[in-house]
Amino acid sequence: MHLQRSHIYGVMGEFGEPEELIHAVEKIRAAGYRRVNAYSPFPVEGLSEALGLKRNMVPFICMLGGLAGGVGGFFFQYWAAAITYPQNIGGRPLNSWPAFIPVTFELTILGASLAAVFGMLALNKLPQPHHPVFNVHRFSHASSDRFFVCIEAKDPKFRLEECARILQEVHAHHITEVSDD
Partner 1 sequence: MSAGQPPFDSPEIRRLTPVIGPGYTYGSVTDKISAIVLTRPTSLGWYIGFLIAFSLMGMMTVAIGWLIIKGTGIWGINIPIGWGFAIVNFVWWIGIGHAGTLISAILFLLNQKWRTSINRFAEAMTLFAVACAGMFPLIHTGRPWMAFYMMPYPSTMGIWPQFRSPLIWDVFAVSTYGTVSLMFWFVGLIPDLATLRDRAVKKPMKIIYGMLSMGWRGSARHWHRYQSAYLLLAGLATPLVLSVHSVISFDFSIAIVPGWHTTIFPPYFVAGAIYSGFAMVLTIAIPLRKAYGLEDFITMRHLDNMAKVMLATGLIVAYGYFMEFFMASYSGNKFDVFLVQQRLHGPYAPFYYALLLCNILIPQLLWSFKMRHNVAVLFFMSIVVNIGMWLERFVIVVISLTRDYVPSAWGRYSPTFWDWATFIGTMGMFVTLIFLFVRVLPAISIAEMRELVAETSEEEK
- List of residues contacting partner 1 (CB under 8 A): 18, 37-44, 47-48, 51, 53, 56-59, 62, 66, 76-77, 80-81, 84-85, 87, 96, 99-100, 102-103, 105-107, 109-110, 112-114, 116-117, 119-121, 123-124, 126-131, 133-134, 139-145
Q: Looking at the chain, which runs of residues are DSSP E strands?
A: 8-15, 36-39, 147-152, 173-179
**Least distance from partner 1 to the Cβ atom of residue 139, Å:** 8
Work out how close the CB of 7 gets to partner 1 at its nearest, in angstroms, rounded to a whole number: 21
Q: Please report how close the Cβ of residue 143 comes to partner 1 at its closest, in angstroms.
A: 4
Give Cα 153 to chain centroid, integer Å: 21
What φ, ψ does residue 101 adopt, rounded to 5°? -65, -45
Would you say 8 or 115 has its CB closer to partner 1?
115
Closer to partner 1 by Cβ: residue 42 or 156: 42
Indicate the residue among 105 and 159 with the shorter CB distance to partner 1: 105
For residue 148, which amino acid is it?
F
Encoded amino acid at 52, one letter: G
Quote the least distance from Cβ 100 to partner 1, whole Å.
6
Half-sphere exposure of 57 (CA within 13 A, CB side): 11
Distances (CA, A) of 9 to 71, 86, 134, 154, 170: 45, 62, 11, 8, 21
